[in-house]
Amino acid sequence: MNFDFSEDQKFLRDEARKFLTAQCPSTAVRAVLDAEDITHDAKLWSQIGEMGWLGAAIPEEHGGLGLGMLELCVIAEELGRVLAPVPFSSTVYMLAETLKLAGSEGQKAALLPKLASGEVIGALALSEGPGEPDPASLSVRFEGGKLTGTKIPVTDGDIASHAVVLAAEGSGASLVLVDLNAGGVVRNPVKTLDPTRSHAELVFDGTPAERLGEAGAGAGLLGQLLDRVAVLLAFEQLGGASRCLEMATDYAKERYAFGRPIGGNQAIKHKLAEMYVKNEVARSNCFYGAWALSSDAPEMPEAAAAARLAASEAYWFAAKENIQTHGGMGFTWEVDAHLYYRRAKLLAVQAGAPKVWKEKLIRALETKNAA
Amino acid sequence: MDFNDTPEEAAFRTEARAFLEKHLEPKGAKPLRQRISGEAFMREAKAWQKIKAENGFAQITWPKEIGGRGGTPMQQVIWNQEESQFDAPTGPFAIGLGMCVPTVIAFGSDAHKKRYVRPALTGEEIWCQLFSEPAAGSDVAGVKTRAVRNGDDWVINGQKVWTTGAHFSDFGIVLCRTDPKQPKHKGLTMFIVNMKDPGVEARPIHQASGGREFNEVYFSDVRIPDSDRLGEVGAGWKVALVTLMNERLAVGGSPGPDWAEIMDYARKAGTLGDTAFREKLADWYVAAQGYKLTKFRSQTALSRGETPGPENSIGKIITANQLQDICNEAIEMQGHYGLMVDEDTMPADALFQRSFMWAPGLRIAGGTDEILKNIIAERVLGLPQDVRVDKSVPFDELKQG
Ligand SMILES: Cc1cc2nc3c(=O)[nH]c(=O)nc-3n(C[C@H](O)[C@H](O)[C@H](O)COP(=O)(O)OP(=O)(O)OC[C@H]3O[C@@H](n4cnc5c(N)ncnc54)[C@H](O)[C@@H]3O)c2cc1C
Ligand SMILES: Cc1cc2nc3c(=O)[nH]c(=O)nc-3n(C[C@H](O)[C@H](O)[C@H](O)COP(=O)(O)OP(=O)(O)OC[C@H]3O[C@@H](n4cnc5c(N)ncnc54)[C@H](O)[C@@H]3O)c2cc1C
C-alpha cells in the first residue's frame, strides 16, 4: 500500500508553499479584487512560468518539464490555498489537457511549447446560458472552419490567447480551437461573484477556428477532458478548504466571548470537527482521483466524480462556516473569508456543478455494475 | 502512488488466503437465514479462534512469546481484509483481545500474562469491559462502583451497565472508585474480575433492537485479591485510557448495508431512476469511499513503519450515521411494506430493517457522535476543552444524575 505522494512530490509541495506564501499574499489577490482594470497578477503569472509549473505535466518534447499529473495535483492544491489570481486552471488543466487529449501533432507542436513558456493563455468556453450546456442543442455553431454564436461566461475569456470551444457541427458537437488574438471575436468583460478571476462573454461572428479531434466527437472528448479537469480543480478546492479550516480554527482560539475563546463552545467545536471530517473525505477522494489520473486507470470516471463532489462539498462547507466562525468580522471586506467563499463557488460550478457530477457518478457506477 | 502490496505483504496475503480457503467458506455462500446463532455460534466461534491461535493468525502483532505472530500492524490489516471475505464466526473475542487483554499485557504482572493471555487467545476464555455505569458513560471517569481494601483483598460493590457479553464472559476488567475524597480522575483503580464469582450477577438488557447482547452487572461483596489489581492504586484512569485508546483503534467501520447494497436493491426494485435517490446515493458513495481511502492512507503509514495520523478518527462518525440513513431510505423506498421484518420474505433478508434497529446503538457505543467530535476538535484541531466543573472537586461532592 503506497497511497500517498512521494518524497519528491512532498518536497515540491513544500517549495511551492514557500514560494506562494511569499509571492501571493492576500494583498496580491486583493489587488485583482479591488481594481476593475486588473484581470490577473501578471507578475505572479510570469514567475509561475519561470518556475516551469505551466509545463509540469507537458512532455519534454513539447517544451515541458515532463513530470506527471501527480506533480500537477500538488501544485494545484497550493494554488488553491492562496487563491492565486492567475489563469493557471484555464491554461493548464483546460487548454493543455485538451491539446494532449485531442490535439493533432501539429496543434500540439504549435501550442504546447508556448503554453509551457507562458506565451499562451487558455480558456474553456462551454456555458451559453443558465444550466449545463447540452451538446445536443448548442447555439454556438462551427461550420466550414468558422465559428458563430456567444459563450458566456468564459473564465479568463478576456485575457486568453486561445480558447477551446464546444460547438455544434452538423448534427453533433465538436471541440474547436480559436486563436482569440486573430480577430473576429468580441470580448465583453462580465462581472461575477469571484472578481479575483476574470471572466468575459465571447461573441464569435464567422471567426476562423480549427477542430480538435474528429467532427462530432465533442461530447465524448469533453467528457474525458472534464474528468481530468475535475481532479485538478478538486485539488484547488481542497487547498482552499484546508485553508478555511486553518483560518477558522486559529480565529476560534484567539477570539474571546463570554470570558473564553469561542472555540471552547461545542457549537463551534463540532462545526469545525465536521469541517475536518469533510476535508479528510475530500483529501482521500482527491488522492484517488490523482492516482486514477496519473495511471490512466479504468476507474477514472467514478474517481474523478467522487474527488470533485467531495471537494466541492468540503469547500462550500468550510467557506461558509469560516465566515460564520468569524462573526461580524467574517462579513467584512477586509477579512479574507469572503474571498474563499467567492472562489469556492466559482470552482464548484465551472466545469459542471455538483448536481451534474452526481449524475455522472451514478452512471459510472451503473456502467461498472453492468459490465 | 499505488495500491500494491510489497513483496513481503503479498506473500503474507497469499499465505493468509490459502489458510482461510482451507478452513472457511467465502462470504455469501450460505444464505443469511441458514446462519447459526446462540450457543451453536459460540461453539463455532471458539473453534475458529483456536485454529487461528494454533496457526499464528490470532493477534498478529503480539510477540511470539505470548502466542502472537510477532508480525506487523500491516499484516494484521491484511489478515482482517482477507478474513472479512469469508464467512468467519468472529465477534465474541473482539472486546477481550482488542481491548481488555492488551490492558492486562500493559499493566499486569508476569503471572497475569502467563495465566490469562493464552486462554484468551485460543478462545477458551472470554473477556468483557466493565466501565460504563448508569451515571458514567461518556463521562466514564464518574464511575461509582466501590472497591474497599480489606486485608490482602479488595471488596467490590456497585453496578455496571451496557457490558457487552458479560453474560458469557469468564473475566472482565472493572474500573472502580477507591477514593471518593479525591477528584474524580484521581480516585480510580482497575482490577481483573472473575465473572463466575458468586457475587457477580450479569442480567442481560433487552435492547431496542430486540436482542440481548449487553448487560447490567451487579457486584455484591465480590473479593478480588490485591494481586489482581492492574496499575497503581489511584491510577485507574491512566489504565482506562489505554483500553479506550485500543477501542478507538478497534471501532470504525460499521457492519451492515452500504451504498452498494441499497443501489443493488433499488435496481431490483426499479427505483434507481429516481433523481432524488440518485443524488443521495452519490453522497453516500463519496463519503464511504472517502473513509475507505482514508484507511488506505493510514495503512500506507503502517506499511512504512510510521504512526498513522489522526485522519482515521473520522470513521465511526461517517459510517454509523450513513448506515442509519441508508436503512431509513431503503425502508421508505419499500413504503408501508418496508415496515415488515420477516427475514424469509423481505427483500435482502430484511437486512435494512435489522440494521435500522442496530444503527442507533452504533452511534453511541465506543464513544457517541458528540464525544468523537469533541475529540477531533480538542486533540486534532487543538481547540480548548469544554468548561469543566468537575475536575478539581472531590468526587463525593459532585452532582450526578
Ligand atoms: C450585517 C450586520 C449588521 C449589524 N448591525 C448591527 C447594529 O446595527 N448594531 C449593533 O450593535 N450590532 C450590529 N451587528 C453586530 C452583530 O450583532 C454581531 O456581529 C453579532 O452579535 C456577533 O458578534 P461578533 O461579530 O462579535 O462575533 P462573536 O461574538 O465573536 O462570534 C464569533 C462566532 O462565535 C460564535 N459564538 C460566540 N459566542 C458563542 C457561544 N457562547 N456559544 C456558541 N457560539 C458562540 C458566534 O455564533 C460566531 O459564530 C451587525 C452585524 C452584521 C453582520
Ligand atoms: C451497543 C452498545 C454496547 C456497549 N458496550 C459497552 C461495553 O461493553 N462496556 C462498557 O463499559 N460500555 C459499553 N457501552 C456503553 C457506551 O460506552 C456508553 O453508552 C456511551 O459511552 C455513552 O454513555 P451513556 O450511555 O451514559 O450516555 P451519556 O453519556 O449519558 O450521553 C447521553 C447524551 O449526551 C451526550 N453527551 C454526554 N456528554 C457530553 C458532552 N460532554 N458534550 C456533548 N454531549 C454530551 C452524548 O453524546 C449523548 O448523546 C455500550 C453501549 C452500546 C450502545
DSSP A283-334: HHHHHHHHHHHHTT-TTHHHHHHHHHHHHHHHHHHHHHHHHHHTHHHHTSSS
pLDDT at A212 over 70: yes
State the pLDDT at residue B31.
65
> Which of A155, A190, A216 delimits the end of a domain?
A216
Give the Cβ contact number of residue A10 at 10 Å: 12
Outline where B89-205 has alpha helix (H): 94-95, 101-107, 110-112, 118-121
State the pLDDT at residue B147.
98
pLDDT at B33 over 60: no
Pair A53, A79 in one domain: yes
Q: Cα distance from A256 to chain B (closest Cα, Å)?
A: 12
Q: List chain A residues with CB under 8 Å of B263.
A: 365, 369
Interface of A with B in 294-323 (CB under 8 A): 294-295, 302, 305-306, 309-310, 313
For chain A, how many structural domains are there in total? Answer: 3
> Which of A53, A85, A119 delimits the end of a domain?
A119
What is the SS3 assignment for A152?
A: strand
Ligand 2 atom nearest residue B165's Cα: 8
pLDDT at B252 over 70: no
Torsion of Cα atoms, B311 then A227 then B283 then B138, to 10°: 0
pLDDT at A1 over 90: no
Name beta bridge partners: B179.
none
Q: What CATH number is attached to the domain comprising A133?
A: 2.40.110.10
Tell me the average pLDDT of chain A.
97
State the pLDDT at residue B254.
59
Q: List chain A residues with CB under 8 Å of B314.
A: 276-277, 280-281
pLDDT at B21 over 90: yes
Pair A187, A229 in one domain: no
Closest to A264 (Cβ–Cβ): which among B9, B290, B384? B384
Q: List chain B residues with CB under 8 Å of A299.
A: none
The 10s digit of each residue's pLDDT in A241-300 is: 999 999 999 999 999 999 999 999 999 999 999 999 999 999 999 999 999 999 999 999
Rounded to 5 degrees, what are φ and ψ at B155? -110, 125
Q: Could you tell me if B44 and B89 are in contact, meaning their C-beta atoms sit under 8 angstroms apart?
A: yes
- Residue A245 within any structural domain of the chain: yes
Place B73 in a pLDDT band, splitting at 50, 70 and 90. Answer: confident
State the pLDDT at residue A155.
98
- Residue B138 within any structural domain of the chain: yes
> Which of B200, B226, B249 delimits the end of a domain?
B249
* Minimum mean pLDDT range among A241-250, B32-41, B145-154, B266-275: B32-41
Pair B43, B142 in one domain: no
State the pLDDT at residue B30.
72
Pair A240, A321 in one domain: yes
Pair A203, A336 in one domain: no
Q: Does the annotation count B247 as an active-site position?
A: yes
Instruction: Name the CA radius of gyration of chain A, rounded.
Output: 20
Pair A306, A327 in one domain: yes
Place B249 in a pLDDT band, splitting at 50, 70 and 90. Answer: low
Q: Could you tell me if B68 and B60 are in contact, meaning their C-beta atoms sit under 8 angstroms apart?
A: yes
Range of the domain at B174: 127-249
Q: Whose CA is nearest to atom 3 of ligand 1?
A: A328
The 10s digit of each residue's pLDDT in A57-88 is: 999 999 999 999 999 999 999 999 999 999 99
Q: What is the mean pLDDT of residues B212-231?
A: 96
CB contact under 8 A, A358 and B311: no
Q: Please give the Cα distance from B342 to A240 (Å, whole number).
A: 49
Pair B38, B79 in one domain: yes
Place A175 in a pLDDT band, splitting at 50, 70 and 90. Answer: very high
B164 in contact with ligand 2, CB cutoff 6 A? yes
For chain B, how many structural domains are there in total? Answer: 3
Q: Please give the Cα distance from A300 to A33 (Å, whole number).
A: 35
Q: Cα distance from B233 to chain A (closest Cα, Å)?
A: 33
Predicted TM-score (pTM) of this structure: 0.95
pLDDT at B253 over 60: no
**What's the CA-to-centroid distance between A247 and ligand 1, angstroms?**
18
**What's the CA-to-centroid distance between B247 and ligand 2, angstroms?**
14
pLDDT at A124 over 70: yes
Pair B168, B201 in one domain: yes
CB contact under 8 A, A261 and B384: yes
The 10s digit of each residue's pLDDT in B158-204 is: 999 999 999 999 999 999 999 999 999 999 999 999 999 999 999 99
Which grid cell sits at A125? 468556453
Q: Please give the Cα distance from A81 to A218 (Å, whole number).
A: 33
Q: List chain B residues with CB under 8 Å of A260.
A: 384, 387
CB contact under 8 A, A277 and B314: yes
> Which of A188, A216, A244 delimits the end of a domain?
A216
Pair A92, A63 in one domain: yes
Pair B51, B30 in one domain: yes
Pair A323, A347 in one domain: yes
Most A CBs within 10 Å: which of B381, B385, B389, as the mutation test of the A interface? B381
- Residue B323 within any structural domain of the chain: yes
**What's the CA-to-centroid distance between A216 and ligand 2, angstroms?**
61
State the pLDDT at residue B247.
72
Pair A337, A261 in one domain: yes
* Minimum mean pLDDT range among B24-33, B97-106, B238-247: B24-33
Percentage above 90 pLDDT, chain B: 76
Q: What CATH number is attached to the domain comprising B16?
A: 1.10.540.10
For B184-216, letters b (16+ CB in 10 Å) and e give: bbbbbbbbbbbbeeebbbbeebeeeeeeebbbb
Q: Please give the Cα distance from B144 to B142 (Å, whole number).
A: 6
Q: Closest-CA residue in chain A for B388?
A: A264
Q: Could you tell me if A195 and A156 are in contact, meaning their C-beta atoms sit under 8 angstroms apart?
A: no
Pair A233, A311 in one domain: yes
Q: What CATH number is attached to the domain comprising B284?
A: 1.20.140.10
Q: What is the mean pLDDT of residues B95-113?
A: 95
Q: What is the mean pLDDT of residues A290-312?
A: 97
Please state the separation of Cα A35 from the chain's center in Å: 23
Q: What is the ipTM of this complex?
A: 0.95
Q: Cα distance from B384 to chain A (closest Cα, Å)?
A: 5
What is the SS3 assignment for B335?
A: helix
In 3D space, the residue among B135, B170, B130, B164 whose CA is nearest the CA of residue B147 turns out to be B130
Q: Please give the Cα distance from A226 to A135 (Å, whole number).
A: 14
Percentage above 70 pLDDT, chain A: 100
Pair A197, A224 in one domain: no
State the pLDDT at residue A147.
98
Range of the domain at A318: 219-370
Q: What CATH number is attached to the domain comprising A37?
A: 1.10.540.10
Pair B228, B132 in one domain: yes
Which grid cell sits at B125? 476464555
State the pLDDT at residue B27.
84
Identify which has the larger pLDDT, B31 or B147.
Answer: B147
Tell me the average pLDDT of chain B.
92
Pair B233, B285 in one domain: no
The 10s digit of each residue's pLDDT in A331-358 is: 999 999 999 999 999 999 999 999 999 9
Q: Could you tell me if A243 and A81 are in contact, meaning their C-beta atoms sit under 8 angstroms apart?
A: yes
